[in-house]
Amino acid sequence: MSTIKIEDVAFVRFSVPDLAKMRDSPRSSVVIATADERRVVSRGLGVSPVEHIAAKGNPAFAALGFRAASLADLRFLAEAEGIEIGPFDLPGGGCRVLLRDPDGHRVEVVVGQTPTASLPLPGRETLNSALDRRRLRQTKRLAAGPAHVVRLGHAVLSVASFRTSEAWYRERFGFITSEEITAEPALSVGAFLRCDRGDTPTHHHTLFLLQVPKGPGFNHAAFDVFDLMLGQQRLQRPGVRRSGASDATSWAATTH
C-alpha cells in the first residue's frame, strides 16, 4: 500500500542564468503566467495554472512537481514523512510539501490549485477529421511558428539504482508500472510508471525512471503539443541543440 495516490504530474522547475531568454524565446509557445526579475512562470493552453518554472540562477534542474488528490492526502503524506505543509506561492495558489528522493531530486506535491481558463487551440476550428469535415473546398495554410503547448505530459529522471528509486516513488505516490525496461532477463534498469486512479483513465506514464552509467540527473520533460510538425521545423533552425543537453536554458529545444 502506498502512502497516497497522486493524480498527475504538475510542473517542472529549473534555475537558469538568463530569464529574458526564457521569457522571449521565439521557439516556445508556452503562455507566460507571471514574470519578474526572480522567475518566469509558464503554463500551457489547458487548465493547469503553472507547468514550467524558471528561476534566476546557475543552469540546473530544480524540482519535479506532482498533484495530490486532496488536502487530506497531503496532510497524510506530510505526517508520514515528518514534514511541514506550506503555501504554494505560484499562480493558482494551494499548498505543498517538499521531499527528496533517494538521489536527492527535489519532489514537490501540491494540492488546492485553482484551475485557470483553457485557451483555444489556434486554427483548430478549420481542421477536418474523419468524423467532422468543417472545411470544404478551402485551402488550409499553416503559418510557420512553434508548436503550441497544451499540458505537461511526463518527466524522466536518471537514477543511481532503479529498484531503490522505483520503490521510493511507488511507496509514497502509488505509481503502477506500465512497462519495465530490461538490459537482460534478470536485470531491470527502468520503468514507465503511471498514476493509480482506479477506474479513471490515465496516461500510459507520468514518470519514467532509468538507471544509466552516468548517474542521477534530469533527463527530460515532455509536453503534449498541438501542430507538432510545425514545432519540429522551428527547432531545426540554427542555434538549437537537438540532444537532451543538461543546460536548463535549452529547455525549449529539449522539452517541447
Domains, in order of start, for the chain: 8-116+148-254 (3.10.180.10)
Helix (H, G, I), strand (E, B), or coil: what is residue 20? helix
pLDDT at 237: 67
Range in 35-39, 89-93, 250-254 the model is least confident about: 250-254
pTM: 0.85
Question: Given a cut of 60, is residue 246 above it in pLDDT?
Answer: no
Which residue did the predictor score with more confidence, 62 or 223? 62
In this prediction, residue 119 has a pLDDT band, given cuts at 50, 70 and 90, of confident
pLDDT in tens, 134-167: 778 887 777 777 778 889 999 999 999 999 999 9
pLDDT at 120: 82
pLDDT in tens, 68-115: 999 999 999 999 999 999 999 999 999 999 999 999 999 999 999 999
Range in 134-138, 162-166, 186-190, 250-254 the model is least confident about: 250-254
Question: Given a cut of 60, is residue 253 above it in pLDDT?
Answer: no
Which residue did the predictor score with more confidence, 237 or 187? 187
In this prediction, residue 125 has a pLDDT band, given cuts at 50, 70 and 90, of low
Strand spans (E) along the chain:
8-16, 31-35, 39-43, 52-56, 60-67, 86-87, 95-100, 106-111, 148-159, 176-184, 187-194, 207-211, 217-226
pLDDT at 138: 81
Beta bridge partners of 149: 225
Cα 47 to Cα 43, 90, 223, distances in angstroms: 9, 15, 14
Beta bridge partners of 95: 87, 111
Average pLDDT over residues 236-249: 53
C-alpha cell, 115? 484551475
Beta bridge partners of 187: 184
Question: Given a cut of 90, is residue 226 above it in pLDDT?
Answer: no
Contact 118, 46 (CB under 8 A): yes
